[in-house]
Copies of this chain bind each other. A is one copy, B any other.
Amino acid sequence: MATFSCPISLPFKCSSNGYHNLGDYRVDFKINGSTCARPIKCYTLNEIVGVVKASTSLVTDHENRHTSEEQIRQRIPTQKQLVDRYRQGLIIERGVGYRQTVVVRSYEVGPDKTATLESLLNLFQETALNHVWMSGLLSNGFGATHGMMRNNLIWVVSRMHLQVHHYPIWGEVVEIDTWVGASGKNGMRRDWLIRSQATGITYARATSTWVMMNEQTRRLSKMPEEVRDEISPWFIEKKAIKEDVPEKIVKLDDKAKYVNSGLKPKRRDLDMNHHVNNVKYVRWMLETIPEKVLQSHQLSSIVLEYRRECGSSDRVESLCQPDEDGIFANGVEQSLLNNMVVASRIMEGNGQLSSLDMKTYGYTHLLQIKGEINENEEIVRGRTRWKKKLSIMP
Contacts and interface: CB of A to CB of B under 8 A. Distances in A.
A70 B48 CA distance: 46
A12 interface: no
A169 to B, nearest CB: 6
Contacts of A111: 267, 270-272, 274
A196 interface: yes
B118 A103 contact: no
A85 B173 CA distance: 11
Interface string A79-121: 0000001111000000000000101011101110100101000
Interface residues of A, number: 76
Nearest to A286: B268
Contacts of A105: 122, 126
A35 interface: no
A198 B126 contact: no
Contact of A169 (B55, B73, B346): B73
A266 interface: yes
A267 B70 contact: no
Q: How many chain copies does the complex carry?
A: 2
A357 interface: no
A78 interface: no
A50 to B, nearest CB: 10
A382 B258 CA distance: 37
Contacts of A109: 272
Contact of A270 (B86, B110, B118, B266): B110
Contact of A41 (B5, B48, B197, B295): B197
Contact of A101 (B19, B56, B86): B86
Nearest to A271: B111
Contacts of A274: 111
A359 to B, nearest CB: 19
A265 to B, nearest CB: 11
Contact of A199 (B43, B169, B198): B43
Contacts of A52: 346-347, 349
Contacts of A279: 107
A74 B172 contact: yes
A76 interface: yes
B65 A349 contact: yes
A125 B106 contact: yes
A66 interface: yes
A267 B66 CA distance: 41
A106 B277 CA distance: 11
B267 A291 contact: yes
A129 to B, nearest CB: 5
A20 interface: yes
B169 A70 contact: yes
Contacts of A74: 169-172
A26 interface: no
Interface string A113-151: 100101000100110010001000000001000000000
A260 to B, nearest CB: 12
Interface in A164-196: 168-173, 196
Question: 6 tightest A-B contacts by CB?
Answer: A52-B349, A20-B20, A66-B392, A107-B122, A74-B171, A111-B270
12 contacts: A19-B85, A41-B197, A43-B199, A48-B199, A49-B346, A52-B347, A69-B347, A70-B393, A74-B171, A86-B101, A106-B142, A267-B294
